[in-house]
Structure 1
Amino acid sequence: MTDRQDSEPRILVRTLSDLARIAGVSAGTVSRALAGNSLVNAETRARIVALAREHGFRPNQMASGLRRQKTGVIGIAIPLGHDQRQQISDAFFMTLLGHLADALTERGYDLMLRRVIPERDEDWLDRFIGSGMIDGVLVIGQSDQFDRIEDAADGYRPMVVWGNHREGQRHCVVGSDNRLGGRLAAERLIAGGARHIYFLGDVTAVEFDARFAGAADVAQRMGVGITALSSHLSTDRLEAEVAANLDRAFAPGDAIFAATDTLAVASMARLRAMGVECPGLVRVVGFDDLPLAAHTTPALTTVRQDIRAGAFAMVDLLMRRLAGEDTESIVMPPHLIVRKSA
């Protein structure tokens, strides 16, 4: 008599994601369990290993397969957990993507781009990693996904992230010292007479939160008020939110620190529509130093982060990690670029 279990068709398991679905865990947990990582409890590790054997999936099969069979493609993911309606056409994304494309092309790689809404796909990073279509991953921005990126980094080496660095974090990151950048912005505004700073940006995003924290450090030390006004970057609500946030009677000593140049430009446009002089009554500082910053009216004072150097550094670190090296994160110093708005 044929055993019923033997007669049933075996579920085809080719990727970490396939095995993760059967086990009811994330692909990152599967990767760590098969690698013997102690972050996964012994009972779960044993169950996953047993399932891998049952379905003919070898430990680290995907990782070793990627090493043997290069795809020649690097995945680029843009997670938008904090601002789900933001578009890739955002000026910052387009600037960074252009430099990443240049750097990858020089290395002989193509790129695969994904705009990710984590609320709709909780396993977005594990799925990308386990797809078998890419050799490595570049993540643009941590959004509100810091913990998820940390989780993936435990079992996946060829990943580099553009974002903010926290002491003790496990994922490899390239980015500016956002807290220092926030301090530079606040110091410039206060030196110009600011007595209250309005910060425009969504502080649920890791980088924006660090910029606000840096500005708050200086404001509190100098006895200056500071208020965070939540403003998103999605084109369908940016102008309306900026207008609502700036719908107030400004007084001498009020100033605006925008988390991005895009928000700064929108703020100056709104001030102009309100008949508020910039920098006559309200001074404005942005962040990024995108190409548009020097061509606004008035020209935008902003905190520069070297986006081109950061993009090339990300690709260099990724190539080294693909070669098996351990790499440290790179935190670039920001620089205040003084123009007419503050």
Structure 2
Amino acid sequence: MAGKVEPTITVEDDTDRTSESGIRLQVRTLADLARIAGVSAGTVSRALAGKALVNPETRDRIQALARQHGFQPNQMASKLRTGRTGVIGVVIPLSHEKRQHISDPFFLTLLGHLADELTESGFDVMLSRAMPDGTSNWLDRLTGSGMVDGLIVIGQSDQYHFIERAAQSYRPMVVWGHYRSGQTHCAVGTDNEAGGRIAVEHLLASGARNLAFLGQTGGIEIATRFRGAAAAAEAAGAPFAYLPVELADASMGPQIEDALSRADLEIDGIVAASDLVAMSALRALHDMGRSVPGQVRIVGFDDLPLAAQTTPPLTTIRQEIAEGARALVEKLKARIEGKTTLSLVMPPKLVIRQTTRA
């Protein structure tokens, strides 16, 4: 038995939106919308894409008609025509800190800003955490997958050379991290060496004398912060210790207590590798019966939203995370279009709160 035959409706203009039987017309294709607007399907396509080739009045009229009729372009067909997926990959390599997680407050803050910027630009986001094992396969799999239009790498970990090599053949990639003069990959990040130097100079100015750097230096960004801090302490003739601790929520406090107890110096000034490390140090010092800032002064790094909520509020080196996220997305969009982009090194800023005010 033949199925029920639906009436064929021909759309002549944008004033007649129902058939004689009162059935509301449905606009399913660009051609349908083009007939209503009295223009070509190509003009409709360009207007919906916001192209400047269509004059503003016509573009606004077509977009208004699309909204009136609830018309949504066939995104899959559009992606097939353009050869693009509409997806941006965001990957966090953590070979130097295998106990660190995406739930780290710094990652969550940066990811939030990136997601806002990418979705407002019309992209979907594919997030992954990579645990490199000494080979470059983790990055090759992403750049050669065909699943994404571009890639944002958050942090270089100890994978700088693998990232640099991948950038020589894969252009739509930008990296949050450290910049070295002459490097191939496009990076956005903070002057970490200057940040470490500023932290030490502030601790000394606030009265600290025996200093320590708290954190692991396996990742290039943290290593650069340590280098800046150590250089500033040496220039001032101040004792300076390196106290390595791993980023792990459950055990970081005991690690910090143990490191401070074993230190040859009576530490009264701490440069923490990150705000998360600084927050753990605050709790560890409290448990040890040492007051902050009375006996020990602390400077963190990042200026996360939580930094102002600790007890006492945390002095820290601010990274412009929101600005950096915008720059990452804008530079990636430009690289997807085949344009050349320069790296961006943002200046750090000292934010003074109660952990260094005696």
- Which category of TM-score, normalised to the shorter sequence, fits these structures? 0.7 to 0.9
Q: Could you state the TM-score of these two structures normalised by the residue count of structure 2?
A: 0.75
Encode CA deviations 1:113-137: one digit per residue, 9 max, x unaligned. 0111001864100100111110000
Encode CA deviations 1:163-214: one digit per residue, 9 max, x unaligned. 0111121110000000010111000001122222110111111000110111
Q: Structure 2 residue aligned with 1:119, among 123, 129, 133?
A: 133
Deviation at 1:66, TM superposition (A): 9.7
In the alignment, which residue of structure 2 is the partner of 1:295?
Answer: 309
Conserved? CA contact 2:150–2:336, under 8 Å = yes
- Which residue identity lines up with residue 228 of structure 1 in the other structure? Y
Distance in 2, matches of 1:314 and 1:264, equals 27
**Identical-residue share of aligned pairs (%):** 53
In the alignment, which residue of structure 2 is the partner of 1:138?
Answer: 152
The SS at the match of 1:246 is: helix
Q: Structure 1 residue aligned with 2:96, among 82, 89, 108?
A: 82
Distance in 1, matches of 2:160 and 2:251, equals 25
In the alignment, which residue of structure 2 is the partner of 1:195?
Answer: 209
Distance in 1, matches of 2:103 and 2:272, equals 19
In the alignment, which residue of structure 1 is the partner of 2:333?
Answer: 319
Aligned residues: 278
Q: Structure 2 residue aligned with 1:223, among 237, 240, 246?
A: 237
Deviation at 1:310, TM superposition (A): 0.3
Q: Could you state the TM-score of these two structures normalised by the residue count of structure 1?
A: 0.78
Structure 2: tracts of 5 or more residues without a match: 1-78
Look at both structures and tell me which one has the larger radius of gyration over its CA atoms. 2
Deviation at 1:234, TM superposition (A): 2.7
Q: Please show how residues 15-164 of structure 1 align to structure 2 within 5 Å.
A: 68-119=82-133, 122-164=136-178
User: Is 1:177–2:174 an aligned residue pair?
Assistant: no
Distance in 1, matches of 2:134 and 2:345, equals 31
Structure 1: tracts of 5 or more residues without a match: 1-64
Distance in 1, matches of 2:342 and 2:137, equals 26
Conserved? CA contact 1:252–1:282, under 8 Å = no
Distance in 2, matches of 1:236 and 1:295, equals 21
Conserved? CA contact 2:253–2:283, under 8 Å = no
User: Is 1:255–2:264 an aligned residue pair?
Assistant: no
Deviation at 1:67, TM superposition (A): 9.7
- Which residue identity lines up with residue 220 of structure 2 in the other structure? V
Conserved? CA contact 2:201–2:232, under 8 Å = yes
Q: What is the Cα-based RMSD across aligned positions, in Å? A: 1.8
- Which residue identity lines up with residue 112 of structure 2 in the other structure? G
